Structure 1
Amino acid sequence: MMKRNPQVTQPLHPDVVLIHCHDLGRWLNIYGMTHVPSPNIARFAERSVVFENAHSAAPLCSPARGALFTGMSPYVNGIQGLSHNAWRYRENVLTAPERLRPYGYHSALIGLQHENVDPTVLGFDECPGQGFLPRVNQVVEATEDWLAHLAPAERRDPLFLTVGTWEVHRPWPHEDYSPADPDQVDVPDFLPDNAGTRSDIADFYGAIAQFDDGFGRLMAALDATLDPANTMVILTTDHGAAFPGGKSTLRDSGTGVTLIVRPPVSWGVDPHRVSTVVSHMDLVPTLIELAGGAAPAELEGVSLLPVLRGQSEGDPGRLVYSAKDYHDTYDPKRAVRSASYAYIRNYEPGPNLQLAIDLEKSKTRQMMGDRHLEPRPREELYDRGLDPAEKDNRAEDPAYAHIKDEYAAALHSWLIRIGDPIETAPTPPAPQRSRAVDPLPAVVRSSTP
């Protein structure tokens, strides 16, 4: 149960609730996919700031979440692959709850996390369920119960609550999720429109519908317990949807994420949409400024608080960066993007799409042919204005040579700035964990019988 501070007579800062799910990308009706069954999220968006061009720092689970919760890119924070493959934070890296603690925030994690095999090392004051309640209905029930025991705002510290769900990760079995009508789904431009893809998307919609239903219940519980006038609610996901050409790529379909923020109602901010490019790494700087502090220099994101207060539309010329190293194979690549262009550098030969095992087994893969197995280019450049699906690589087009040079130089400068050696040396696998890591103290035996 949350620690109460009897000296607190009113919240010093707004409560913050961060809700995050798996593998959603921007597959919502509010992002133009009109058939997606997400009415509760749509109602939430009507009262919120919707970021149309938000990106994760990585296209796979643990690295994306590591960057989200630290404000640092995967190489800097240390999580360059999946946590269950031994990747973990570097020494002295601070997470969002640890950054907020000096400002009086009490933190809790309910449901899923994917940054460490042990959720209790992530800096939260509480981990009800120990991070092992992943499914949305379980998570909502656990959150409702936790909120029912929460002290009134005037008798507690401000709250940073993180709520994570397994959905909408593959698989999407029919015994768990009711599929949609395959004839009534949206097929994005980066996927082939055929029976296999439509059946796959119909199953995906079933998982989204269940997540959306749970989200509606969760918001009802939050608004009944936490004062909307003094509560910020954030909804996001880790990376793009789990389809070939989406998750695990550095294209828009792989790093583009849902990001919807409902500011405290007392701020009087009109709901609006933001088209400028932003990064998951902006979350921690935003929360620090919300708490009254200044983001330290080692953080790579920028505060979005002026945008959330309606004081700014963001930087129209901003560049954001993303990276991939290890998923279930080694597939090193880095990217820089703006609202206008996306530049990707591949550091190892391989197929054009390196599919993770869940994508390789998908219905979409079974009917998409083998063109994705053709050799990948060293460089990729996409003109977002002409080619928002990022299908037409302009890296060898002389008309784009100056753009490619500009973005390649920006990417190189970023790698130098963060110390990432990928241009000259491959990324080694994570040091394997053993019983010599984080051991319990040895037993001290008495010398007397």
Structure 2
Amino acid sequence: MRIDLLSSAVRLLLIVALSGWIVSSDNLVSAAAPNILFISVDDMSCDSVGVFGCALPDTTPNIDRLASQGMRFEYAHVQVGNCMPSRNVMFSGRYPHSNGVEGFYQVRNPDYPVLCDLMKEAGFFTAIRGKVSHSTPYSPYAWDLVLDEIDGDRQHIKDVQSYYRSAARGIEAAGKAGKPFCLLINVSDPHKPFYGMNGSQTVVDDPHVPSRIFSPDEVPIPGFLFDHPSVRLELAHYYSSVRRADDCVGAVLKALSESQHDNDTVVVFLSDHGMPLPFAKTALYHHSTHTPWIVRWPGVVAAGGHDTQHMISAVDLLPTLLDVAAIDHPEGLQGRSIVPLLRGESQSGRNMVFKEYNENSGGFRNPMRSVQTRKFGYIFNPWSNGSRTFRTATTGTLAYRTMRELSATDSALAARLHTFEYAQPEQFFDYEKDPDALHNLIDDPRYSTQIAELRQALECWMEQTEDHALPAFRNRTSPEALEEYMEQVQSESDARRSTKRKNNRPGKRKKAAAGEDDE
């Protein structure tokens, strides 16, 4: 009897092996499925990356090298201009109004799976470093391993070598478990505090020195900002932080190479949104959401590929990773896999992306909706009533403080400040001619056809995804309807925050004070 049982077991193993699957715990993982390494940076604008056209030389040599080994996407966007909602789109495959994470809070018992659930169930070893609470809509988390601590030592979020240690430990742990890995490494830079600055944007000594430091006189000034010594100082520290982020990416890729898993690992790189300065972060302009998306997939993606035709967005990330891992898609995903594009094919229906913003880390609502094509962008701002101001973390920057100070005597800056703080209910930009969104063309009759087309596209998307902002959009010419909507969503946010304060865990603010601020 024992011989018969052994023979049956051997036959089963042979059948499994021949069918292209390996047994891992209680799950089946395709033997052909590669490992997955996802690397994100925090608050890095797309055009801060060398290969994406940065005007400042030598900002990102490691990221540029990664792009030369894989494919980069010219028209890639995230959905949201701030961190936690943006990351939850990536790993849920759903827009914020659909996954419920519209701000900086988690949802209890979500009725949908996220990346770590799906990968773990399929037999992958799942590990994450950084932004754990921002990347998972619930707690306790389902990750096999959280790499923020190694051997009891909490890793500093600005320490380059700590990212090497985290990546190496995650890969090693997967090997010991006998599983392929799905490893997320979320680099803190160039999020504030920038290199050599504290949270108040005051220059301080910093032990975590990047491999190159940029000076104020050599940095480019983004077109949506203005040239001033304080702005140059802040940008110099930002770009030095970009370089430190690139150092971290290089450290992670070094750990992967030393593990000898270069050739069987798909590497995905992107940023969660644009730089943490006015008119970029916590908004829906072009530079707010344009992200440097790169994929390296040895044997599948041709080295040096550059997609200049298709628009992709963060909601496409989860279905893409599931296809890479040969995992069936759960119901309700709102994005589409870009694997056909990675294989050099084309996809129809990739001529626009949809974006949204709802609230800041303090729970203050400034809801926005946007649709963007390769040429144009339309933004709906139901919060904009001429008196309600825009609440954003970027008001703590030197750029904002200087703009406010100079606006008393500079009419051009006063106009920019007014746009920043109050906006307009509708905005339309010709991004091909005006990528910095300096000229709102919503009332320009020359663009009436394009405006109507994008309004219609946005309304269809809002209807299909059951967006709670749809009634407000349909009644956008009614100040009363817009105020009713604003009162509704703000009261919901206030009630949620009141409940959160009652249930707040001890020590939560200590974590934020250590540099991991919300936005």
- Work out whether residues 67 and 281 of structure 1, in 8 Å CA contact, stay in contact via their aligned partners in 2: yes
- 2:431 paired residue number: 384
Matches within 5 A, 1:27-426: 27-35=48-56, 37-83=59-105, 87-88=106-107, 91-115=110-134, 121-129=140-148, 133=155, 134-137=157-160, 138-151=162-175, 156-172=178-194, 173=197, 174-176=204-206, 177=209, 179-263=213-297, 265-267=298-300, 269-275=302-308, 276-312=310-346, 314-315=347-348, 317-327=350-360, 328=362, 329-349=364-384, 354=390, 356-357=392-393, 359-368=394-403, 369=407, 370-371=414-415, 372-374=417-419, 375-422=422-469, 423-424=471-472, 425-426=485-486
- Greater share of helix residues, 1 or 2? 2
Q: What letter corresponds to residue 135 of structure 1 in structure 2?
A: K
- 1:15 paired residue number: 35
CA distance in 1, matches of 2:29, 2:124: 14
Q: Deviations for 1:268-299, whole angstroms, at most 9, x for unmatched residues?
A: 62321112211011111111112224434511
Tell me, which stretches of 5 or more residues in structure 2 are unaligned?
1-22, 198-203, 408-413, 473-484, 506-519
Residue 182 of structure 1 aligns to a residue in which SS? coil
- 1:446 paired residue number: none
Q: Deviations for 1:198-231, whole angstroms, at most 9, x for unmatched residues?
A: 1111010121111111211210111221522211
1:118–1:415 Cα change, 3 Å: closer
1:419–1:111 Cα change, 3 Å: same
- Work out whether residues 11 and 157 of structure 1, in 8 Å CA contact, stay in contact via their aligned partners in 2: no
CA distance in 2, matches of 1:28, 1:123: 33
CA distance in 1, matches of 2:119, 2:252: 23
Residue 145 of structure 2 aligns to a residue in which SS? coil
CA distance in 2, matches of 1:200, 1:268: 38
Q: Deviations for 1:166-187, whole angstroms, at most 9, x for unmatched residues?
A: 2111121142356511111122
Residue 406 of structure 1 aligns to a residue in which SS? helix
User: 1:127 offset after TM fit, Å?
Assistant: 1.8
User: 1:150 offset after TM fit, Å?
Assistant: 4.4
Q: What letter corresponds to residue 355 of structure 2 in structure 1?
A: S
- Work out whether residues 125 and 174 of structure 2, in 8 Å CA contact, stay in contact via their aligned partners in 1: no
Q: What letter corresponds to residue 142 of structure 1 in structure 2?
A: S
CA distance in 2, matches of 1:94, 1:122: 12
Q: Deviations for 1:65-103, whole angstroms, at most 9, x for unmatched residues?
A: 1101111011111111113xxx43662121112223343
User: 1:6 offset after TM fit, Å?
Assistant: 11
- Work out whether residues 317 and 338 of structure 1, in 8 Å CA contact, stay in contact via their aligned partners in 2: no
- 1:445 paired residue number: none
Residue 13 of structure 1 aligns to a residue in which SS? coil
Q: What letter corresponds to residue 418 of structure 2 in structure 1?
A: L
Q: What letter corresponds to residue 381 of structure 2 in structure 1?
A: N
- Work out whether residues 106 and 159 of structure 1, in 8 Å CA contact, stay in contact via their aligned partners in 2: yes
User: 1:4 offset after TM fit, Å?
Assistant: 6.6
CA distance in 1, matches of 2:287, 2:389: 13
Q: Does 1:433 align with 2:500?
A: yes
Give TM-score, length-normalised by structure 2: 0.76
Residue 104 of structure 1 aligns to a residue in which SS? coil
- 1:442 paired residue number: none
Q: What letter corresponds to residue 208 of structure 1 in structure 2?
A: V
Q: Deviations for 1:227-281, whole angstroms, at most 9, x for unmatched residues?
A: 2221100111111111111001100111111211111x12262321112211011
Tell me, which stretches of 5 or more residues in structure 1 are unaligned?
439-449
Residue 36 of structure 2 aligns to a residue in which SS? strand
- Work out whether residues 88 and 137 of structure 2, in 8 Å CA contact, stay in contact via their aligned partners in 1: no
Percent pairwise identity: 22
- Work out whether residues 77 and 289 of structure 2, in 8 Å CA contact, stay in contact via their aligned partners in 1: yes
Root mean square deviation, CA, Å: 2.9
CA distance in 1, matches of 2:181, 2:103: 30
1:89–1:183 Cα change, 3 Å: farther
Q: Deviations for 1:140-169, whole angstroms, at most 9, x for unmatched residues?
A: 3232234345427xx822211111122111
Q: What letter corresponds to residue 410 of structure 1 in structure 2?
A: A
Select the structure with the greater relative contact order (CA < 8 A; seq sep ≥ 6). 1
- Work out whether residues 30 and 326 of structure 2, in 8 Å CA contact, stay in contact via their aligned partners in 1: no
1:226–1:318 Cα change, 3 Å: farther
Residue 371 of structure 2 aligns to a residue in which SS? strand
CA distance in 2, matches of 1:407, 1:30: 30
User: 1:435 offset after TM fit, Å?
Assistant: 6.8
Q: Decide which moves more: 372-381 or 246-255.
A: 372-381
User: 1:366 offset after TM fit, Å?
Assistant: 2.9
1:129–1:219 Cα change, 3 Å: same
1:229–1:403 Cα change, 3 Å: same
Q: Decide which moves more: 143-152 or 422-431.
A: 143-152
CA distance in 2, matches of 1:149, 1:105: 11
- Work out whether residues 119 and 130 of structure 1, in 8 Å CA contact, stay in contact via their aligned partners in 2: no
1:274–1:349 Cα change, 3 Å: same
- Work out whether residues 127 and 170 of structure 2, in 8 Å CA contact, stay in contact via their aligned partners in 1: no
